[in-house]
Chain A
Amino acid sequence: QKEVEQNSGPLSVPEGAIASLNCTYSDRGSQSFFWYRQYSGKSPELIMSIYSNGDKEDGRFTAQLNKASQYVSLLIRDSQPSDSATYLCAVNMEYGNKLVFGAGTILRVKS
């Protein structure tokens, strides 16, 4: 079982729609969860962090965490073509105190 799993996509959504990205993780002791956005040829950019169960909203982005189900998600409302990128879920693993990335989900927003 991979430590952090994501559907690689691509996930295609029309402009203005809600994009929903999902991630599961294996380490039940993990406490810190992050979403990074990476444009082709660029480095990852932190867009959301979440530490407790529930929802966290920042502008058009909402991160959701369910530790019992070991599940993290990212919702992007009013998706724009500029949101087209790879979204990386990252989990800080308690046992190694290190950040492990999922394989990433490619998001394509069509205008």
Chain B
Amino acid sequence: DTEVTQTPKHLVMGMTNKKSLKCEQHMGHRAMYWYKQKAKKPPELMFVYSYEKLSINESVPSRFSPECPNSSLLNLHLHALQPEDSALYLCASSHKTVSGYTFGSGTRLTVV
């Protein structure tokens, strides 16, 4: 298995909703990441998990809450988002933090 699986592929949520994005990999990678990508912009790092522990938080607002239940799973909990949070949310994993990352297909989030 050489894939990173993200669900859902599309999500529309209201500003008062709570939702979660899920990411799963079975490549034995011990580093997992959340990136945010706006249209015509490069991916921007949000969070890094290394060996299931949060190692980097790029000053992301608290309405985004990451969770790593085990070495294969990564969640991103969303609450009270704003319309400007609408973007493609990408999960990635790597063998080490210095290795190339494998990206999932992303969740396209729209906040209304």
Query: What is the interface of chain A, defined by CB distance below 8 A to chain B?
Result: 31-32, 34, 42-46, 49, 88, 90, 92, 96-104
Contacts and interface: CB of A to CB of B under 8 A. Distances in A.
Nearest to B55: A97
A101 B99 contact: no
B42 A42 contact: no
B106 interface: yes
B100 A43 contact: no
Chain B interface extent, by class: 20 to 34
Given A34-B100, A44-B103, A92-B98, A102 B42 contact: yes
B45 A98 contact: yes
Contact of A88 (B42, B45, B88, B98): B42
Nearest to B99: A32
B79 to A, nearest CB: 25
